[in-house]
Amino acid sequence: MATNFITTFFFCVLVFGTYGIMCQLVPGTYIFGDSLVDDGNNNYLSLSLAKADFPHNGVDFPTGKATGRFSNGKNAADFLADKVGLPLAPPYLSLVSKSKKLSSTNAVVTGVNFASGGAGILNGTDELFKQSIPLTKQVGYYSLVHDELVKQMGSTGAHAHLSKSIFLIVIGSNDLFGYFNKDSKVSKQYTPQQYVDLMASTLKGLMKQMYGMGARKFVISGVGVIGCCPAQRKHNASSECNDEVNYWSTKYNIGLKALLRELKTESSDMHYSYFETYDVMNSLIQNPQSYGITEIKEACCGLGNLKADIPCTPISTYCSNRKNHLFWDLYHPTETISSLFAGFIYNGSQEVTNPMNVEELIKV
């Protein structure tokens, strides 16, 4: 009886809300990354300085309350889940008991979010924020979810489920922020080129581990124009972008695209969709009016210069019109921008989402 249910569940998921009952081409979304897609994992990290479980975060979320998302509302991972007709993936740590075992096992079928604010590809990035879940540990947590799926569905069923699921990876910004931080230790160990090469090679190794545990369809976001976030602009008297950080973001993205091509060559049944975050974000900064944006420099929520001296906290002020701002706080985009990005990821042209968009990826 249970086996039949799981088999049926794989082919046709019961989705509540506006979607009704629909056969799922994407049975699950498994999300890895940093604060751009964290939906509450850091709420469970007692030492973390990178938390968003307080107002004014979540002011535009359906509940109107903060959830741990670094946003006024939903993030890009949430919007992508909406587009493929799946419930929002729960944060992994919300499913874990005090004994560190998965205590809510049914939830893992439609997806899990492993992302953590402050996380990087490389271990040690979290030193900036005292505590986060680096990508290596996120992949380790995924291995436990993989084992649980095998336990529930059997090896064949789990493989079939995971081969059609989406594996979203949004990470790399914190590694670069860490390298160019004035107190950086890694900048004394590596040249910038060596460092971005190390980021790419480390990510490749972790993706191969995920492939070995059933992942076949990857959605990868390049690093954006991070030198133009309010936290970087505020250091310049003219509020201009940090060109050095932006330059090395582009160099990392070149390496990222090369590693994806290598992985595809090595494993023909691995498919991916790469989002040109940098190009889309740069276009938005250069031509904000074409996207309905009027404020590209100042954060919506915060205090001080560009509202970036003090982060978005309960004592901060926030703008009344969040839809015309690029940034919600000193680092993160508004819900409007996250929705825009998710739209490009889902059905954008090859100029911004290549070699295919997610709508095409799920049909492969």
Closest C-alpha to 117, from 167, 186, 44: 44
Element housing 221 (H / E) = strand 217-221
pLDDT tens digits for range 68-84: 999 999 999 999 999 99
The active-site residue out of 35, 71, 173, 221 is 35
Residue count of the chain? 364
Active site residue 332: yes
Task: Catalytic residue, from 38, 82, 126, 329: name it.
Answer: 329
Q: Is residue 4, in this structure, part of any structural domain at all?
A: no
| CATH code for the domain of 58 | 3.40.50.1110
Which residue is associated with the tokens 């649980």? 148
Task: Name the average pLDDT for the chain.
Answer: 92
Structural domain of 110? 23-361
Q: Is residue 198 part of a domain?
A: yes
- Average pLDDT of the segment spanning 172-196: 95
Query: Does residue 36 register a pLDDT over 70?
Result: yes
- 197 strand-pairing partners: none
The answer to whether residue 1 sits within a structural domain is: no
- The verdict on residue 17 lying in a domain is no
pLDDT in tens, 128-167: 666 899 999 999 999 999 999 999 999 999 999 999 999 9
Instruction: Please give the model's pTM, rounded to 2 decimal places.
Output: 0.93
In the chain, what's the furthest Cα-to-Cα distance?
Answer: 67
Q: How many domains does the chain have?
A: 1
Please say if the pLDDT value at position 304 is more than 90. Answer: yes
Q: Is the pLDDT of residue 249 over 60?
A: yes
b/e 92-117 (16+ beta carbons within 10 angstroms → b): bbbbbeeeeebeeeebbbbbbbbbbb
* In-domain check, residue 14: no
Percent over 70 (pLDDT), the chain: 91
Question: How distant, in Å, are the alpha carbons of 33, 87, 198, 212, 221 from that of 264?
Answer: 21, 29, 20, 14, 16
5 domain residue, yes or no: no
pLDDT tens-digit map of 87-113: 999 999 999 977 677 876 777 999 999
Beta-bridge partner residues of 327: 333
For residues 230 and 19, what is the distance between their CA atoms, to the nearest angstrom?
38
Q: 284: buried, middle or exposed (CB in 10 Å: 19+, 13-18, 0-12)?
A: buried
Task: Indicate the DSSP class of residue 98.
Answer: T
- Whether 339 shows a pLDDT value over 50: the answer reads yes
**104, 111 Cβ separation under 8 angstroms:** no
306-318 residue pLDDT tens: 999 999 999 999 9
Query: Does residue 7 form part of some domain?
Result: no
244 has pLDDT over 90: yes
CA dihedral for 227, 88, 165, 359, sign (positive or negative): negative
Whether 328 is in a domain gets the answer yes
End-to-end CA distance of the chain: 31
Say what the pLDDT of residue 196 is. Answer: 98
> Would you call 66 helix, strand, or coil by DSSP?
coil
Q: Is a pLDDT exceeding 50 seen at residue 20?
A: no
Mean pLDDT of 27-56: 95
Q: Are 110 and 86 in contact, with CB atoms under 8 Å apart?
A: yes
Which of 268, 143, 248, 266 has the alpha carbon at shortest distance from 204? 266
Catalytic residue (choose from 161, 271, 325, 332): 332
pLDDT of residue 10: 41
pLDDT (0 to 100) of residue 270: 98
pLDDT for 127: 64
pLDDT tens digits for range 258-276:
999 999 999 999 999 999 9
